[in-house]
Amino acid sequence: MAAVAQAIASIVVCLGLVSCAVIGADAMPAEKAYGLVDSSAPEASDAAGAPAATPDAASAPSLRERLLVRSAELGLEVARPEDAVARCETLIEGKGGWVERRDGGKLVARVPVDAFESVLGELRGFGRVLRDVVQAEDVTEQHRDLVIRLDNAKRARERLLALLEKAEKVEDLLKIESELRRLTEEIESMTAVLQNLDGRIAHARVAVEFRAPAGADRPARRRPSRFEWINRVGAEHVLRSF
């Protein structure tokens, strides 16, 4: 009975440490964060007595393994923005993406990260590029921390479930169930955050704005110049006269 109460108390204390877990390379190993490992055990060391390399340093991802959230903002000058928006939607859907939002000549879409560069290349050919911003946010550490914390929380929940089966006193049962509820909520929350992050990694965000050349929407008719030769020059005259 006392052992069960002690186990519950230690698990509760360790759960409190979950929200204080250090993010990044110095993150506490998962088992210690949830009190699942005897922290008094000496750390492994090589024959010379030097401390072993920390798991974090050994598993640091290479450049290729880094997880990136990619995004781009393009501003394009085109003859007909409405046609360009339609072409853009067709392009994005053809590459397996989707449009998140459309507002006049502005469009925000998600495209599979593998198609990101090819979509940008095709969009740049739509017209004159006025703005071209490409970004990549490194979320490797954030992702890894979430995975570790989620895994630890799930294991802690398994242990609590095992304790629940052994509990006899109503008081202990209620405590365990309360902690189980809280832990379940945290697991669900972290799962949602991780899924969102995975989605952002897998699908890059592309924001495009299509604009007509300035002055293109001015009425074609204007008051003729009082100077006849000025009325007779212009691109439209050149194009008609040849």
Partner 1 sequence: MSFAASERLVRTALLLALAFGLAACGSLRMDLPPSFLKLTSGERELKATTADDARLWVREFGDPERGDLAFWVQALRYDLEARGYRPDAEAALVRDAAGNAGELHRFSALLEGREYGYAIAVFLPSPGLVRVAEFVAPRERFDELVPAVRDALATLGG
Residues near partner 1 (CB under 8 A):
77, 79-80, 127-128, 212-218, 220, 222-223, 225, 227-236, 238-239, 241-242
DSSP-based three-state secondary structure for 60: coil
The rounded distance, in Å, linking the Cα atoms of 186 and 25 is 22
- Closest approach, Cβ 126 to partner 1, in A, equals 12
Nearer to partner 1, 11 or 76 (CB): 76
- Closest approach, Cβ 101 to partner 1, in A, equals 27
Nearer to partner 1, 45 or 225 (CB): 225
**Contact (CB, 8 A) for 199 and 100:** no
User: Which tokens go with 187?
Assistant: 């697991």
- Closest approach, Cβ 88 to partner 1, in A, equals 17
Nearer to partner 1, 101 or 226 (CB): 226
Q: Could you give the residue ranges of the DSSP H alpha helices within the chain?
A: 2-18, 30-33, 55-58, 81-94, 116-124, 140-166, 170-202, 228-231, 235-241
The single-letter DSSP state of residue 100 is E
- Closest approach, Cβ 87 to partner 1, in A, equals 14
The rounded distance, in Å, linking the Cα atoms of 135 and 125 is 20
**Contact (CB, 8 A) for 93 and 227:** no
**What are the residues whose beta carbons fall under 8 Å from the beta carbon of 179, sequence distance 6 or more?**
8, 11, 12, 15, 160
Nearer to partner 1, 35 or 127 (CB): 127
- Closest approach, Cβ 209 to partner 1, in A, equals 17
Find residue 161's DSSP bridge partners: none
Q: How many CB atoms lie within 10 A of CB 123?
A: 23
The single-letter DSSP state of residue 227 is S
Nearer to partner 1, 59 or 225 (CB): 225
- Closest approach, Cβ 223 to partner 1, in A, equals 8
**Contact (CB, 8 A) for 203 and 113:** yes
Nearer to partner 1, 131 or 237 (CB): 237
CA nearest neighbour of 115 among 129, 96, 99: 96
Nearer to partner 1, 13 or 79 (CB): 79
- Closest approach, Cβ 124 to partner 1, in A, equals 13
